[in-house]
Amino acid sequence: MTETNSHKPTVLFVCVHNAGRSQMAAAYLEHLSRGAIDVRSAGSRPAKEVNPAVVEAMAEDGIDISGRTTKQLTSEQLHDANMVITLGGGVDVPVIPGRKYEDWELTDPAGKDVGAARVLRDDIKARVQSLVSGLLPALHPDAS
């Protein structure tokens, strides 16, 4: 098992393809937590690349995810996480005792245009802002 920094919470975002929802959530959490949270993302069946509409929508909000790659979900990632957030149906994630689990019902952006990715982006950003305020209350007032 990989050792994580014990004073930082580790959040793992999981979706099926790790090409849209989980990539956006991870990018926002990295940005809004300012490094105070270790952030990971993975997919149960990763796509070959991050969805171009998602990359474009995130760039419009000043976050460059063009260099990101999709990753396969591993048991090591699950064991290392303090919190696991699944993003939409179809993800089968084993439950590891002692971890907090949440499910965010979000539409898969696969095959959709940038307009749909923008709507999803804004929903995910709001959810991540709420998550940051819960995990790191002192950072939230300035998180934007």
Per-residue pLDDT tens for 72-104? 999 999 999 999 999 987 788 988 999 999 999
Asked if residues 132 and 140 have their Cβ atoms less than 8 Å apart, the reply is: yes
- Global pTM reads 0.90
Q: Residues of 121-132 as b/e, b for ≥16 C-beta within 10 angstroms?
A: beebbebbbebb
E strand or H helix that includes residue 86: strand 83-87
pLDDT of amino acid 138: 61
List domains and CATH numbers for the chain. Answer: 10-132 (3.40.50.2300)
Letter for the amino acid at 27? Answer: A
CA-based radius of gyration for the chain: 14
Write down the pLDDT at residue 137: 72
The kind and range of the H/E element at 85 are: strand 83-87
